[in-house]
């Protein structure tokens, strides 16, 4: 039997695999804000990034290691390919963390060996113990993953895993890298590893999976039944292609169906002890933060965190829910932190009331950040009667996007209407505060604003997504705008909220431009697509 911590460990990879989603790149402040929220959520491990990818990625992992967690908090983990340079860089980046882990990996399927690594099975079997032992010489806690395990020959997999454990890996991760497995196949693979790897009792069995066939969560739950005790997942299920297994769905499945899962943990059917250490009331807030900062919108019907997940539109359902919630509801919305949100903040609320509410929401702002948030709150309160938690979250999450800004929006003014040609005048300031102003016409006000901003910024791009949704209900609601720009095959997103959607669009466009410029200057390598031979880290 693999090592059993007695519950399921939640390994969050939003900042590593989640950030590999096209257009989801985050700056250092944004990563830090998400890591702090993940710690509040109670994850066991935060995979903070792939330090060898670039100096920016290294700095983010190092800062998170230094500032998030502490001795009672989550383990901070970095990813490293099975190469000494990657592992060394990872060890340096996670060094400040009281609890640190190196996660190293190599592919084990024949298709990856032949077409990606150009290595034989024998070569892989030599590399694995050497690299795991090297990682162990630098940190105590080493995780090893067999990339594309779902399509690997199980016999070869057993040998690789045995070698990794013998060399010191204490967590063995089994990824369904391309989301190909079905639940019973994946469960059988976990059972067979548990059965045929002689030293498996020295390691925790972990799973990682992508959602290409929409089966990632189902695969993981089957794996849990067969002995997997660490789940690698992301908030809102973001990640490469169709994404990763969604943390909130896994956690809530095990929360709501605890009686079903308890026997697999050797517990009494009715044992009330939670199966994970997640504080479920933090789920909604974490989901919104990740969505706001990555610009990856959550589909309305998404389980647990979609806006419709707890909405009862149909009259029959509403009637049933009013008589007894259990008729149509299996999760009380409050369990995931979804509350009515209506708080009594308004025009006359003072700084301390705003600070107190932000603290309750989990935002511990510095003096300057609080001053800025309060100024924006006052500005909003002039235009909107009731300010909700969601409005406050929108204000604060936007502030996090600003620090590394190359361009700042100073003014946006439009004239448009049924008989007017939409015209926008915008003023942008550069990093030194130098302002430039221009005007442009467009097919509508947003088009005119984007054209004017492009003319000033001089950073060629193609606008591929523009979406607006309201933060709360009511005619005075703030509109949240997400913009996605494409350049040379890469996507860059920007997000903003304002009671004026044209202003929100202009700010979201500027946020996306800032991201584009910063990514251009800080080119990263991809942990899975770029093979180890290209070891030189790109410099700024």
179: left (phi over 0), alpha (psi -120 to 50) or beta: left
Q: Segment near Zn ion (CB under 5 A), from 10-18, 160-168, 245-253, 415-423?
A: 10-18
Query: Least distance (Å) from Zn ion to the CB of residue 244?
Result: 6
CA–CA separation, 171 vs 173, rounded Å?
A: 6
Which lies closer to ligand KIV via its Cβ, residue 77 or residue 501? 77
CA–CA separation, 377 vs 346, rounded Å?
A: 9
Sign of the CA dihedral running 258, 259, 265, 267: positive
* Residue nearest Zn ion, Cβ-based: 17
Query: Least distance (Å) from Zn ion to the CB of residue 210?
Result: 6
Q: 306 burial class (0-12, 13-18, 19+ CB within 10 angstroms)?
A: middle
Q: Segment near Zn ion (CB under 5 A), from 11-19, 99-107, 255-263, 416-424?
A: 11-19
Which lies closer to ligand KIV via its Cβ, residue 27 or residue 244? 244
Query: Least distance (Å) from ligand KIV to the CB of residue 16?
Result: 8
CB burial of 403-418 (b: ≥16 within 10 Å; e: otherwise) equals: ebbbbbbeebbbebee
CB burial of 48-72 (b: ≥16 within 10 Å; e: otherwise) equals: bbbbbbbebbbbbbbbbbeebbeee
> What is the strand order of the sheet 435-441 is part of?
408-417, 420-429, 435-441
Footprint on this chain of ligand KIV (rule: CB under 6 A): 17, 105, 145, 147, 175, 177, 208, 210, 527-528
> In a 3-state reduction of DSSP, which class is residue 481?
strand
With CB under 5 to 8 Å by kind, the binding choice for 145 among ligand KIV, Zn ion, none is ligand KIV
Query: Least distance (Å) from ligand KIV to the CB of residue 95?
Result: 21
Which lies closer to ligand KIV via its Cβ, residue 145 or residue 286? 145
With CB under 5 to 8 Å by kind, the binding choice for 147 among ligand KIV, Zn ion, none is ligand KIV
12-41 positions binding Zn ion, by CB under 5 A: 17
CA–CA separation, 124 vs 152, rounded Å?
A: 13
With CB under 5 to 8 Å by kind, the binding choice for 105 among Zn ion, ligand KIV, none is ligand KIV
CB burial of 498-521 (b: ≥16 within 10 Å; e: otherwise) equals: bbebbbbbbbbbbbbbbbbbbbee
Which lies closer to ligand KIV via its Cβ, residue 177 or residue 507? 177
Contact 78, 64 (CB under 8 A): no
Which lies closer to Zn ion via its Cβ, residue 17 or residue 282? 17
Largest CA distance in the chain: 78
Which lies closer to Zn ion via its Cβ, residue 209 or residue 227? 209
Which lies closer to Zn ion via its Cβ, residue 17 or residue 498? 17
| Token pair belonging to 153 | 């020959």
Smallest CA-to-CA distance from 293 within 25, 11, 10, 22 is with: 25
DSSP result, 120-183: -HHHHHHHHHHHHHHHHHH-S-EEEEEETGGGS-HHHHHHHHHHHHHTT-SEEEEEETTS---H
Query: Least distance (Å) from ligand KIV to the CB of residue 21?
Result: 12
Contact 497, 477 (CB under 8 A): no
Query: Least distance (Å) from ligand KIV to the CB of residue 173?
Result: 6
Query: Least distance (Å) from ligand KIV to the CB of residue 208?
Result: 5
Query: Least distance (Å) from ligand KIV to the CB of residue 37?
Result: 22
CA–CA separation, 450 vs 463, rounded Å?
A: 9
Query: Least distance (Å) from Zn ion to the CB of residue 13?
Result: 7
Query: Least distance (Å) from ligand KIV to the CB of residue 18?
Result: 10
Query: Least distance (Å) from ligand KIV to the CB of residue 50?
Result: 9
Which lies closer to ligand KIV via its Cβ, residue 179 or residue 479? 179
Smallest CA-to-CA distance from 393 within 307, 502, 297, 471 is with: 471
Contact status: 232 vs Zn ion (CB under 5 A): no
DSSP result, 417-474: ETTEEEEEEEEEE-TT--EEEEEEE-SSHHHHHHHHHHHHH----EEEEEEEEESSSS
Sign of the CA dihedral running 303, 308, 312, 315: negative
342: left (phi over 0), alpha (psi -120 to 50) or beta: beta
Query: Least distance (Å) from ligand KIV to the CB of residue 31?
Result: 17
Which lies closer to ligand KIV via its Cβ, residue 208 or residue 226? 208
**Site residues, Zn ion (CB under 5 A):** 17
């Amino acid at each position: 039997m693999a090592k059993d911590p007695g519950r399921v460990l939640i390994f969050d990879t939003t900042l590593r695999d989640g950030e590999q989603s096209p257009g989801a790149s985050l700056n250092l402040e944004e990563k830090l804000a998400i890591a702090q929220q993940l710690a509040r959520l109670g994850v066991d491990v935060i995979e903070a990034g792939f330090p060898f990818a670039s100096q920016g990625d290294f700095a983010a992992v190092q800062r998170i290691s230094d500032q998030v967690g502490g001795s009672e908090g989550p383990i901070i983990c970095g990813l490293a390919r099975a190469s000494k340079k990657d592992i060394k860089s990872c060890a340096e980046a996670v060094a400040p963390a009281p609890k640190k882990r190196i996660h190293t990996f190599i592919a084990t399927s024949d298709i990856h060996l032949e077409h990606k690594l150009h290595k034989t099975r024998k070569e892989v079997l030599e590399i694995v113990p050497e690299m795991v032992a090297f990682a162990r010489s630098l940190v105590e806690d080493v995780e090893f993953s067999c990339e594309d395990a779902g399509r690997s020959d199980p016999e070869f997999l057993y040998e690789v895993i045995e070698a990794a454990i013998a060399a010191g890996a204490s967590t063995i991760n089994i990824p369904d890298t391309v989301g190909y497995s079905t639940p019973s196949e994946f469960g059988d693979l976990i059972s067979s590893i548990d059965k045929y790897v002689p030293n498996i009792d020295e390691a925790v069995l972990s799973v990682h999976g992508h959602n290409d066939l929409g089966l990632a969560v189902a695969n993981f739950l089957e794996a849990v039944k067969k002995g997997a005790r660490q789940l690698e997942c992301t908030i809102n299920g973001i990640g490469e292609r169709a994404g990763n297994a969604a943390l909130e769905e896994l956690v809530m499945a095990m929360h709501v169906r605890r009686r079903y899962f308890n026997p697999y943990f050797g517990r009494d059917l009715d044992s009330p002890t939670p199966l994970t250490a997640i504080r479920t009331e933090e789920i909604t807030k974490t989901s919104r933060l990740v969505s706001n900062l990555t610009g990856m919108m959550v589909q309305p019907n998404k389980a647990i965190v979609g806006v419709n997940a707890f909405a009862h539109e149909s009259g029959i359902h509403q009637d049933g829910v009013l008589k007894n919630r259990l008729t149509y509801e299996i999760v009380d919305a409050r369990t995931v932190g979804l509350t009515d949100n209506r708080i009594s903040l308004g025009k006359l609320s003072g700084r301390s009331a705003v600070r107190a509410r932000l603290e309750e929401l989990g935002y511990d702002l510095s003096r300057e950040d609080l001053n800025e948030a309060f100024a924006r709150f006052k500005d909003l309160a002039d235009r909107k009667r009731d300010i909700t938690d969601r409005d406050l979250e929108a204000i604060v999450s936007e502030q996090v996007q600003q620090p590394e800004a190359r361009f700042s929006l100073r003014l946006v003014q439009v004239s448009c209407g049924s008989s007017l040609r939409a015209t926008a005048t915008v003023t942008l300031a550069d990093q030194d505060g130098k302002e430039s102003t221009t005007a442009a016409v467009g097919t509508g006000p947003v088009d005119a604003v984007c054209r004017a901003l492009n003319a000033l910024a001089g950073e060629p791009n193609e606008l591929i997504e523009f979406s607006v949704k309201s933060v709360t209900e009511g005619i005075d609601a703030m509109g949240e705008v997400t913009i996605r720009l494409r350049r040379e095959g890469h996507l860059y997103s920007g997000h903003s909220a304002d009671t004026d959607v044209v202003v929100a669009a202009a700010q979201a466009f500027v946020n996306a431009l800032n991201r584009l410029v910063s990514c251009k200057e800080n080119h990263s390598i991809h942990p899975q697509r770029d093979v180890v031979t290209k070891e030189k880290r790109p410099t700024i």
